[in-house]
Amino acid sequence: EISENFTNDFEDVGDEYGSDDDDGGIGQSLLVDIKIPLAEDYQWSSPSVSPTNCYKCVGWELNKNNKPGPRSIDLRPLVSPSHLARQANDLNLRLMKWRALPSLDVEKLSQLKVLLLGAGTLGCGVARTLLGWGVRQITFVDSGRVSYSNPVRQSLFGIDDCMDGGKYKAVAAAESLVTVAGPDVKSEGVVLSIPMPGHSFGGGKDGIAEAAGVKKDVERLHALVEEHDAVFLLTDTRESRWLPTVMALATNTPLINAALGLDSWLVMRHGPHSSALYAANNNSSDCQRLGCYFCSDVVAPENSTRDRTLDQQCTVTRP
């Protein structure tokens, strides 16, 4: 309801037509004169200003120069595709926490640093799954290059990655991960060969340099395992799984070992036992040890790629 004093300031547009019934609805409109106050008309908090009229300031604030002015907010991130994708994924995680996993620590997941040893079929799949769980810091380790048989099975690669001899898988996977999930993902590719039992080195005229390279790879791998909160072991050969599991135990880093064959798969856990993690967080000495990859195996580590037929070496067809 409009007060009488307020309506006196309005002019009925329909009056120009003489009758409200013949103006085609224009008579229902109101015309008002608006007076915009000047800056000196406002009642500022500054004692130096003594206004004659006491308008309260709404929508304007004193800036750093103690002068009234507008404030601006950059809303561009709200329409950024990467920001919207991150928001949608975070919403999925919050819904999962609310409906099924009340103990899920979404913030902790976003701060985890995860190391993926292997950037092949398993490495690509695990990386994308980790993104879905909110992990934003992922490092790939691989020494292979992308071949033309890879893109159909390994979801982070395309045909362009196979050209000119192929990009290094670790580097290509890291770049693709940023393309998939946006620039807020911290992804790195490390080109490194994991030293393996049964694979000789140090022979020939370049033996000294080769031995020095292997030592450097061991030191680099150890540093990477130590720097990350969790490790996923996703390599091709059995013998490549020995050294990382030993390092995981030495550095008290949880390691998930996964292997995939034609008609079989394997998942094992290495590094500290769950009771060891509990003990570390609760200042307790009650813990157990988990063995390396070959501790419960009757076959010693050896070169599984030597003197093998193509189907026995292929990671798709072998068991």
Task: Read off the pLDDT of residues 32-47 as tens digits, 9 standing for 90 and up.
Answer: 787 776 766 665 555 5
List beta partners, residue 69. 61
Contact, 24 vs 13, CB < 8 A? Answer: no
Task: Read off the pLDDT of residues 65-101 as tens digits, 9 standing for 90 and up.
Answer: 777 777 777 777 777 887 788 888 888 888 888 888 8
User: Predicted confidence band at 212 (pLDDT cuts at 50, 70, 90)?
Assistant: confident
pTM exceeds cut of 0.75: no
Task: Read off the pLDDT of residues 170-207 as tens digits, 9 standing for 90 and up.
Answer: 999 999 999 988 888 999 999 999 988 877 776 667 77
CA distance 304 to 197: 10
Which whole-number Å values give the CA distances from 61 to 45, 48, 54, in the listed order? 10, 16, 16
CA distance 269 to 245: 9
Cβ neighbourhood burial of 265 (10 Å; 0-12, 13-18, 19+) = exposed
Which whole-number Å values give the CA distances from 169 to 9, 132, 173, in the listed order? 75, 21, 6
Strands (E), 197-298: 230-233, 255-260, 265-270
Segments in 112-206 forming alpha helices (H)? 121-132, 169-181
Catalytic site residues?
Answer: 314
CA distance 28 to 41: 33
Does residue 288 register a pLDDT over 70? no
CA distance 153 to 132: 19
Instruction: Report the pLDDT value the prediction gives residue 123, as an integer from 0 to 100.
Output: 94
Angle between helices 169-181 and 121-132 (to 10 degrees): 30
Token digits of residue 236: 């091709």
Task: Read off the pLDDT of residues 3-33 as tens digits, 9 standing for 90 and up.
Answer: 444 445 445 555 555 555 555 555 667 777 8
Instruction: Report the pLDDT value the prediction gives residue 3, as an integer from 0 to 100.
Output: 47
